[in-house]
Amino acid sequence: MDLRLENKVAVITGGSAGIGEAIARGLAAEGTHLVLCARDEQRLRAVAESIAGVRVLTVPADLAEPGDAERVAAAVEREFGGADILINNAGTGSEEKILTAPDSRWQHYWELHVMAAVRLARAIAPQMKARGGGVILHNASICATQPLGYEPIYNVTKAALVMFSKCLAGELIGDNIRVNAVNPGLVMTGDWVKTAKALTAGTDQTWEQYLQNIAEENAPIGRFATPEEVADFFVFLCSERAAYSVGSTYYVDGGWLKVTT
């Protein structure tokens, strides 16, 4: 299937690892040029150097900082004359109690998960409009609908990201810019491995066994997804093959979601 993504320009936040890196590689395989953003400049460069056949621009940025979205957009304009695709992927899990988490913690995740997407839309959507249209995708989480009890701030901010995605879709579809969200379930990323190793240290259980138990308890498919499996869905949504997909939220969760939406 020809996805017709050759020579498009995609901005991917959180592009140095996990799902973001997998999306970058998937788009590069389709001939899409890349702008990769993340805080770790060294890791960004390593990913960029390992991708061949397309142009890759790296922009070290902390998108929880208000000024960095404009800086990313300016770099895209200078290097490529604008973007056709924006993947808002940057984010991380949390762990806290509502009654004890300070305002500063709530604000940090609000800036990272919601305001980063708002600011990048303001900065990059005009570029897309000038180029005749584009695609904006938000990597949210199944936790936006089916929350995990130990991370209320993550749950709330991801739910807000999904609603922002829906509102943005209605505002931009007249400019031929399609906006959608993706809610992944269990995905085998470095964060999950790090957590599992910490929780099983000094016990008789291996970190692999811990994660397998989580998969069997929660996902009917009985395993974690690979980042590449989730990335393939993102790549499809970027393409003309998904031209009628607008303002929706898609679950890639191995059957974990317990309600209909």
Structural domains of the chain sorted by starting position, each given as residue range(s) with its CATH number in brackets: 9-187+226-252 (3.40.50.720), 188-224 (no CATH)
| Angle between helical axes of 190-200 and 207-218 (0-180°, round to 10) | 110
Q: For 90-151, where are the alpha helices, taking DSSP H only?
A: 103-110, 116-130
Between the alpha carbon of residue 110 and those of residues 13, 39, 155, the distances in Å are 16, 17, 11
199: pLDDT confidence band, cut at 50, 70 and 90? Answer: confident
1: pLDDT confidence band, cut at 50, 70 and 90? Answer: confident
Taking the model in full, what pTM does it have? 0.96
188: pLDDT confidence band, cut at 50, 70 and 90? Answer: very high
Return the pLDDT at 122. Answer: 98
With 70 as the cut, is the pLDDT of residue 155 above it?
A: yes
**Neighbour-count burial for 35-62, b at 16+ CB within 10 Å, e otherwise:** bbbbbeeebbeebbeebeebebbbbbbe
- 109 catalytic? Reply is no
261: pLDDT confidence band, cut at 50, 70 and 90? Answer: low
Q: What would you report as the CA-atom Rg of the chain, rounded to the nearest whole angstrom? A: 18
Q: What type of residue sits at position 129? A: K
Percent of the chain with pLDDT over 90: 95
Catalytic pick among 154, 210, 244, 251: 154
pLDDT tens digit string along 241-253? 999 999 999 999 9
- 35 DSSP β-pair partners: 11, 57
